Chain A
Amino acid sequence: MAFKRNIDRLPIIPADATVHNVSCHYCIVGCGYKAYSWPVNQQGGFAAGENWAGTNLGEQQPAETDAWYSPSMHNVVRQGGRDVHLVIKPDVHCSVNSGLGSFRGARLAELSYSTVRGTQLQRLTEPMVWRYGKMQPTAWDDALDLVARVTAAVIKEQGEDGLIVSCYDHGGAGGGYENTWGTGKLYFGAMKVKNIRIHNRPAYNSEVHASRDMGVGELNNCYEDAELADTIVAIGANALETQTNYFLNHWVPNLRGTSLAKKQAELPDEPHAPGRIIIIDPRRTATVAACEAEAGKDNVLHLALESGTDLVLFNALLTEIYDKGWLDREFIEASTTGFASPPAEPPMFPARGGAEQDNPPLFGLDDVVAAIRTSPEEAAAITGLSPDDIRKAAAWIAEPKAGGKRRRTMFGYEKGIIWGNDNYRTNAALVNIALATGNVGRPGGGVVRLGGHQEGYVRPSDAHVGRPAAYVDQLLIGGRGGVHHIWGCDHYKTTLNAHEFKRVYKRRTDLVKDAMSTVPYGDRPALVAAIVQAIRQGGLFSVNIDIVPSQIGQACHVWLPAATAGEMNLTSMNGERRMRLTERYMDPPGSAMPDCLIAARIANHMEAVLREMGDAAYADQFKGFDWQTEEDAFMDGYHQHAAGGEHVTYERLRAMGTNGFLEPAVGFADGKIQGTKRLYTDGRFSTPDGKARFFVTQWRGLEAAGKQQQKDRFPLLINNGRSNQVWQSAFLDQRSELVTDRFPFPFIEMHPDDMASRGIKAGDLVEVFNDAGATQAMAYPTPSAKPGQTFMLFGYPTGAQGNVVNAGVNELVIPNYKQTWGDVRKLADAPEAVKGVSFKNKHYEPV
């Protein structure tokens, strides 16, 4: 049964409604929205003079109207202690989305906390502690005191390595500059925590080490470049579903040819045509289908390569481009290490750390091609592609246009290769191509991450973490550490090797729970002593800071309730470095606080406890956390420490609205923050000498431990990733009937033949299993899937795909989620919840 709200009308926004700037706090794109609010006992009217739009709403409005909003864009929330109507609708004046709302962002209002409408009542409203056998409410001071006393006791026994931290590093909700600074100042300023990991990977490391080591920051272009490119190359990215309005508002116009006028205007001295696109992905995605519908099949080249062989393809493309002479020689000479081997001394990279690529010799492009030379035929044998398609791709990327004009090619990549085989070399091999063709720092170019979350990172130096960083999951599984602080992460749903992780984590945290049950909660010294004793016996004390009860939270001993974007002022930047301020438009639930202030209060309590313990010197390290507002944290962090931060204040950002500016800020003039449209336009890169590096990137098969053996042993690829209809781990969507009605369980897309041979029907509940673990999903027949290749929704609450991802990582502890093989067997016929689910083709085809 399709979920229906049976809402037949909505309150009308009055002309005098309060308006706040909002950037959608979900994906990297950060679409602009406006939040309208007004007293709950008032409403606007249909007459043009009675509503915000100045439009006669008594008439049917046309397609793309700004004078309409859906039920999902409305709610009733608390603002300054009183109930108000809230409408959060896409902003037509934001250049990112031009009024488009995605399935995710257009539900910002409905996914807000409302006691009136009963939405998101799962939100944490006050601190909770393990007491009398379950989680119970308590006061902030009580919870923080317990956290500080146990943390201090563990550090006293084990040093700061006894404190293990899991913490987001992103922007948007559950992140942002205020909160990365707050947590960063606590763990990297007051302390020097080494055993720390990020929300989506088991270590504190970059997802794109190689690009950075080559001097190419990964967000180096702007969204307009997708409108200007002759060719877009999308690698391991499904932009329609995961960067939706970037795709719809900036890629599609190029594919349709409607950005031609912009191309002519901005780049008048060369021929232009509608854009073409190369999509490198083992799977036929919704993006491929949409591109074919828009550009025609002749202008879409889908390279459905064998999973994990992107590196071979990139090496072949570079070889072909080199052999054809389709190089930007001037750029290579001026802005890179050049063609010939430079002098060996001194080594110029990597910028930090130590790993496989420590102090390698510098390479010229000639050396690189000599080392990685791969013919189209050789690549075809490994990738399963045709040599002709590889040659065609090289031509689309680099063959000069009429008049010898350089082809403008934008390379956008994401988790398909970030979480793919041999992350470091694969990333480097792609950047090699972009550098060889001069497609960095130029209009219509860029070699960029397409992104997941928004960004919003400003922290004290993490240099002490080292490289490779600690594999934190393995520390936890190995019994290391005594206390674990978890900020906005749910490893039970989203880590690799999750089956084993959960098994051990539950055992260790249960030890502490059982110990806590041996003493009265109110006897603080006895309670702390019991906890510390349990930790000595292998237990783990776990503190979870989140907005909702998470699955890992089931194992934790303290929950601290956090506020999210809109309940606090929050700054982030999107995939083109566009920084905006989401203004506070509603109250947080109960006593929930912004993460930056929770971090500050933990620091305050640590200082007090350490002083009480007589360690004044250590206590003094926790000074500087007297922030009372998120703006205090912003001024202490971003304003003082981010590049260009001195030009940026809340007041200035408010005035910049939903368009903000592109980081880094370089000045403030005429009432506006001056930004940076593209990086590296001067041809100087992020290396000490300003020269970008070419890297040698030889193919070495499936790199991570256990992957080749798994592939040899199991018949099905268990590819995995995101879906348009689910944001992240569904932490809010798990309480959205619209979403759970569609996907009561995570889908696993399977070719009908693979289902038939296993006796599986559409919607059947199946077990996905291999040597690493097992999980469950509902079978979604997918004729466009290749036989032997499945695709499972990642991170879903009712079936964690990470259970079957083995522990294998690359040399810098980047996980390899994508290359997973296993088998599938039927558990049960479609459960009742699945009976109303449509199993039709998700991909668009023109009528």
Chain B
Amino acid sequence: MKGCARLADLGRRQFLTGSAAAAVAVGAAAPRSAAAAPPLAGVVYPSAKLANVADLAVDQPLEITYPDPSSPGVLLKLGAPATGGVGPDGDIVAFSTLCPHKGFPLGYHAADKSLSCPGHYSRFDCENGGQQIWGQATQNLPQFKLRVDERGDIYAEGVDELIYGRLSNVLA
């Protein structure tokens, strides 16, 4: 659609306004099997440290990438337990921020804890596993599977839907 590139830029600039930290680099992917080994049934996801729970404040989205630097996402502390939520309050979640419809960057609405797409108006519920509230994507928003270790470090270790723009969630 004409005009979308402009909007994409706009969306990216507006995205995560007020976030405290810049993008967090993803750690190296977990060691892969030797080339001669038979392929596995699913992709092997890297375990990537995203932040520490102490870094997060409610409704202050943190821009992340996962499973690699070309796949943007968001780490959110929602303030109330949520589907897939981790951390002491069960309220820390992470999602891909590429709209699974046409790949435009999603922006966060703290007012109702949703992610919205400026391209074609799709909306996703961060408290409910990324369910598409309304929109043109034919999948709910890919959510990153999180783990918190004893130090409070938050790791992403998997994705539950195909990320926009890649036919394998792990490209390397």
Contacts and interface: CB of A to CB of B under 8 A. Distances in A.
Contact of A98 (B1, B68, B116, B171): B1
A244 interface: yes
B133 A842 contact: yes
B162 interface: yes
Contact of B162 (A10, A100, A101, A256): A10
Given A64-B102, A286-B121, A840 B170 contact: no
Interface string B46-89: 00000000000000000000001011000000000001000000
A4 B129 CA distance: 9
Interface string B143-172: 100000000000000011110111111110
A844 B4 CA distance: 16
Most chain B beta carbons < 10 A, residue from A5, A64, A259 = A64
Interface string B1-40: 1111100100100110100000000000000000000000
A742 B132 contact: yes
Contact of B4 (A5, A64, A837): A64
Contact of A63 (B104, B143, B159, B160): B104
A12 B167 contact: yes
Most chain A beta carbons < 10 A, residue from B1, B133, B160 = B1
Interface stretch (A65-73, A402-410, A538-546): A65-73
Nearest to A57: B167
A100 B107 CA distance: 21
Interface string B130-142: 1111111111110
A709 interface: no
Interface residues of A, number: 64
B118 A842 contact: no
Contacts of B162: 5, 7-10, 70-71
Contacts of A57: 166-167
A293 interface: yes
A61 B116 CA distance: 20
Contact of B136 (A63, A244, A738, A847): A244
A845 interface: yes
A106 B128 CA distance: 23
A68 to B, nearest CB: 5
A847 B14 contact: yes
Given A2-B130, A4-B129, A63-B102, A106 B116 contact: no
A697 interface: no
B1 A252 contact: yes
A68 B161 contact: no
B2 A253 contact: yes
Given A2-B129, A249-B1, A8 B169 contact: yes
Contact of A2 (B42, B128, B136): B128
B167 A842 contact: no
A617 interface: no
Interface in A87-135: 98, 100-103, 106-107, 110
Given A286-B121, A844-B123, A60 B166 contact: yes
A46 B1 CA distance: 27
Contact of A258 (B2, B83, B166): B2
Interface string A571-594: 000000000000000000000000
A240 interface: yes
A617 B3 CA distance: 65
Interface string B85-124: 0000000000000101111100111001010111111110
A668 interface: no
A844 B161 contact: no
A256 B133 contact: no
B136 A102 contact: yes
Contact of B131 (A68, A258, A742): A742
A148 B139 CA distance: 46
Contacts of B137: 70, 103
A838 B167 contact: no
Nearest to A4: B160
A724 interface: yes
Interface string A13-37: 0000000000000000000000000
A106 B140 contact: no
Contacts of B98: 63
Contacts of A8: 42-43, 45, 159, 162, 168-170
A834 to B, nearest CB: 12
A80 interface: no
B131 A72 contact: no
A843 interface: yes
Contacts of B83: 1-2, 836
A266 interface: no
B161 A71 contact: yes
A846 interface: yes
Interface in A173-211: none
Contacts of B120: 100, 248
Nearest to B68: A60
Contacts of B125: 2, 838, 840
Interface of A: 1-10, 12, 46, 57-65, 68-73, 98, 100-103, 106-107, 110, 240, 244, 248-249, 252-253, 256, 258-259, 286, 289-290, 293, 724-725, 738, 741-742, 836-838, 840-847
30 contacts: A2-B140, A2-B141, A4-B160, A8-B159, A8-B168, A9-B42, A9-B168, A10-B167, A12-B167, A46-B168, A60-B70, A60-B171, A61-B165, A63-B4, A63-B5, A63-B98, A64-B4, A70-B137, A72-B139, A100-B120, A101-B138, A106-B136, A240-B121, A248-B1, A252-B1, A258-B2, A724-B134, A836-B129, A847-B11, A847-B15
Given A8-B159, A106-B136, A847-B118, 8 more contacts: A4-B139, A59-B70, A60-B171, A63-B102, A106-B138, A742-B131, A836-B83, A847-B107
Which are the 9 A-B pairs with shortest beta-carbon distances?
A2-B129, A847-B107, A844-B121, A2-B131, A63-B103, A60-B70, A72-B138, A9-B168, A842-B134
